[in-house]
A = this chain, B = another copy of it.
């Protein structure tokens, strides 16, 4: 079987203790540099491959310091604190000796406890009922996902008439691929800039910081497998060049797998 696009794009070659080399992949090209989600996934990949890792990812924050240029990059991941059941990480990606991404993460051995999910998945039509997307992918990375819009699609007409910033969509890797922590992190960045929807105006925009909280462990991810995820994202406020985005990703069975937040730069 051929290597999946996702595995090829996030592949890392060990380059000493806690150091790896990666390479941008044209399959995930964005307007400038690669899709932020694939870079975030690569940062998490370094931790997942680290021989000293304790437990599963619980939180990940990535800061996009500069657009990556096409080609090789260096990843370093360092466990700065290891407790009995938790571990704190600092990650950095560099190109030509310059920092292009910083990240911090928490991994933990999770134990079974009392629990409650108070944010239910919205009730929407199934992915099959919505059917295949009928629009051209505006950039290459969009072809790496099967996205079925439920509400809040990219405006067809840029006429400044937007009223809200909420998008609800079904999504999975294209072709389908069994879900893991790096691919879930990448999926958290799948929503196009909220400001485009809110304003029905296309302005330059780019994520500067993204946080993902993982609410499930390896077994629950395995249960999702190649299944669909239901995602929802919206902004609270857009002001003087930056807006926030909060998002949720549920399994088709309704389990809240991840909550995610971004702050996004926009122009004008």
Contacts and interface: CB of A to CB of B under 8 A. Distances in A.
A65 B88 contact: yes
A98 interface: yes
Interface string A211-236: 10101110000000000000000111
Contact of A263 (B111, B113, B213): B213
A199 B116 CA distance: 9
A209 B216 CA distance: 17
Interface stretch (A3-11, A39-47, A56-64, A171-179): A56-64
Contacts of A88: 63, 65, 99, 102
A96 interface: no
Contacts of A117: 236-239
B237 A215 contact: yes
B81 A65 contact: yes
A154 interface: no
Interface string A27-41: 000000000000000
A12 interface: no
A248 B244 CA distance: 12
Question: Oligomeric state, in number of copies?
Answer: 2
A58 to B, nearest CB: 6
Contacts of A242: 58, 108, 110, 213, 215
Interface of A: 58-59, 61, 63, 65-66, 80-81, 83, 86, 88, 90, 92, 98-100, 102-104, 106, 108, 110-119, 164-165, 198-199, 208-209, 211, 213, 215-217, 234-242, 244, 246, 248, 256, 259, 261, 263, 265-268
Given A114-B238, A118-B165, A118-B234, 19 more contacts: A58-B242, A61-B211, A63-B88, A81-B99, A88-B102, A110-B242, A111-B240, A113-B239, A113-B267, A114-B199, A116-B237, A118-B164, A119-B236, A211-B261, A215-B237, A236-B256, A244-B259, A246-B246, A246-B261
